[in-house]
Structure 1
Amino acid sequence: MKLAEALIERANLQRRLDALKVRMNASARVLQGDTPAEDAMLLLEEYERVASDLLAVVRRINGTNAVTELEPGVNLVDAIVARDLLRKRQQAYSDLADAAVGKSDRYYQTAESRFSRAVDVAALRKQADELGREARELDTRLQAANWTIELR
């Protein structure tokens, strides 16, 4: 099985857990005299089986990521962390630029309460765009690698 297939399976199992939880909770309580549409305890048993399957898949994914290099000296775990940090940094730059621009509310602005920008919005947006580009490029490399790597 390829790593990408395992990642798809992980997502499917996570969605299944979420759906089972909703169904369990909906069946946990009914009006007196009614019967639930489903047996909550049977759903709970299925939930536990799916959770066990998810744990097994995640362990294999993590093991593969830890020992497989995306490029010399950079394993998949490090690359994933780098991508996630690039995205977080991009968001911080974008948020700072957005905060500097602010929301113009002419009804509440008076001559005494005018704001000026304390940061260079254009430079922040440019840096956010660059970080976003780097994150997308790294993510593309990770996605491509996922289809060539055998799950361990």
Structure 2
Amino acid sequence: MKLAEALTARADLQRRIEQLRARITANARFQEGEEPAEDAAALLGEAEEALGQLRDLIRRINRTNARLALGADGTMTDALAARDVLRLQHSLLADAAAAASGTNSGMRQMRSELRQIAALPVAELRAAADGVAQELRELDNSIQQANWTHDLEE
């Protein structure tokens, strides 16, 4: 199994567990004289089994990520950490540029309103955000390529 397939399987298991949670809570109580639509105890057992599978799969993914070298980016774990930080950095720069640019571009609606001035250089922030976005795309491409070319460890 390739790493990308394991990641898809992990997402599927997580969705399944959330569905089971909803079904369990919907059937955990029922009115006297009625029967629940599903057996909550059986659903709980099914959820426990899925949780065990998820735990084992996550362990294998984490082992693979810790050992998988991505060249200059270090291990896959290092690259994932860098990607998370780049996403935050991009968001921070884009939000700062948007806030500094304002909604009415510094124009006053009425003469009595005070003119607002940007405290940050909007063009520089947007250029920096674009640079971070490019770096993020390149790193994400490396991660995706590794996901599809490396096998999951046992």
Given the two structures, how large is their TM-score scaled by the length of structure 1? 0.90
- 1:64 paired with 2:72, answer no
Q: Which aligned pairs between 1:31-70 and structure 2 lie closer than 5 A?
A: 31-70=31-70
In structure 1, the partner of 2:7 is: 7
In structure 2, the partner of 1:17 is: 17
* Shift in CA distance, 109/22, structure 1 to aligned 2, threshold 3 Å: farther
> For residue 120 of structure 1, what is the amino acid of its counterpart?
P
* Shift in CA distance, 102/28, structure 1 to aligned 2, threshold 3 Å: farther
> For residue 20 of structure 2, what is the amino acid of its counterpart?
L
Report how far residue 136 of structure 1 moved.
1.1
Q: Distance in 2 between matches of 1:110 and 1:57?
A: 64
In structure 2, the partner of 1:119 is: 120
In structure 2, the partner of 1:145 is: 146
Given the two structures, how large is their TM-score scaled by the length of structure 2? 0.89
In structure 1, the partner of 2:131 is: 130
Deviation string for 1:108-151 (max 9, x for gaps)? 98734432110011111111111111111111111011111111
Q: RMSD across aligned C-alpha pairs, in angstroms?
A: 2.1
Deviation string for 1:15-73 (max 9, x for gaps)? 11111111111112233332211111111111111011000000000001101101157
Q: Which runs of 5+ in 1 are unaligned?
A: none
Whether the aligned pair in 1 keeps the contact of 2:73 and 2:79 (CA below 8 Å) is no
Q: Distance in 1 between matches of 2:20 and 2:32?
A: 23
Q: Distance in 1 between matches of 2:29 and 2:110?
A: 53
Q: Distance in 2 between matches of 1:14 and 1:123?
A: 41
| Identity of matched residues, % | 46
Q: Which runs of 5+ in 2 are unaligned?
A: none
Q: Which runs of 4+ in 1 moved over 6 A?
A: none
In structure 1, the partner of 2:85 is: 85
Q: Distance in 1 between matches of 2:100 and 2:149?
A: 44
In structure 2, the partner of 1:75 is: 75
* Shift in CA distance, 148/109, structure 1 to aligned 2, threshold 3 Å: farther
